[in-house]
Chain A
Amino acid sequence: MKLTSREEKGVEILEPKGKIMGGPDATMLHDYLHDLINQNKKKVVIDLSKVEWMNSTGLGILISGLTTLRNNGGELKLAMITEKIESLLTITKLITVFENYDTVEDAVASFQ
């Protein structure tokens, strides 16, 4: 997995690419999310359009990021989830927990 990020209108946009399956790559995303919180950056969008699939490690990172952000007055929103990830979110009922947008622009606008 590779991870890039950018900021737009005060919102951090993370773009992981590849698979999130556990191991060092997953740790990188987890640490990056928690670093943002430490930097008081509390509005986060994760663009999942380039994530082929993830297992429960990836879902755990998303949940951990979401709950930590919410506990600190922030929010994590998802954008452009693939069919495979939507299926996993549905199976695990996490689809009811995350705000999910069709485009990154819509996700960013939802913070304004």
Chain B
Amino acid sequence: MAKSSGDDITISSSLDHIAAVDEFLEEWLRRQNIPEDTIADLAIAVTELVNNAIKHGNKGNLAKKVTVSLHFANGVAQATVGDEGEGFDPESIPNPIAEENLLKAIGRGIFIVKSLMDKVEFAFPATGGTRITITKKVVN
């Protein structure tokens, strides 16, 4: 299931829907006249977070949803990715560029998001789930 309206898209927790999220995101960003290089950075970051939300947050439970909400104002693009999982400790993620982790196949997602974005905020609402908001200043 992938359902979009306005500035949001909601999918069920299947990696089959990642491409639908990317398509929705890139079309939305192009409508804001955001440069292609910045669109690519945002697409990389959002698809990272959606992958994590499906696999680690919702643990592939198709009954649980992942929502992406987009916002653009005053030259700043923002995306919030929410899941219905149990949350996690962002500080507990091993450093992927440490020598001992360099050849591991996984564990680079959040590191890449932080590298590409200007700001990454984690929220764990009392009602459950994880909400990660990324912010990128757009330079035309």
Bound Cα distance A61, B102 (Å): 13
Q: Are A56 and B106 in contact (CB under 8 A)?
A: yes
Besides A55-B51, A63-B105, 10 other A-B contacts (C-beta < 8 A) = A21-B18, A21-B43, A52-B40, A53-B43, A57-B47, A64-B105, A67-B103, A91-B116, A92-B96, A92-B112
Q: Report the interface size class on chain A.
A: 20 to 34
Chain B 99-123, CB-CB to A under 8 Å as 1, else 0, gives 0001111111101100110000000
Any A CB within 8 A of the CB of B62: no
Any A CB within 8 A of the CB of B44: yes
Any B CB within 8 A of the CB of A60: yes
Count residues on chain B whose CB falls below 8 Å from chain A CBs: 28
Bound Cα distance A55, B42 (Å): 11
Bound Cα distance A96, B104 (Å): 14
Bound Cα distance A31, B127 (Å): 39
Q: What is the CB-to-nearest-CB distance from A10 to chain B, in angstroms, rounded to a whole number?
A: 26
Q: Are A92 and B15 in contact (CB under 8 A)?
A: no
Chain B 115-137, CB-CB to A under 8 Å as 1, else 0, gives 11000000000000000000000
Any B CB within 8 A of the CB of A88: yes
When distances are taken between beta carbons in the complex, the residues of chain B under 8 Å from A55 are 44, 47-48, 51, 109, 112
Which residue in chain A gives the minimum CB-CB distance to B54?
A22
Q: What is the CB-to-nearest-CB distance from B45 to chain A, in angstroms, rounded to a whole number?
A: 8
Bound Cα distance A22, B43 (Å): 12
Among B97, B104, B112, point to the contact of A88 (Cβ < 8 A): B112
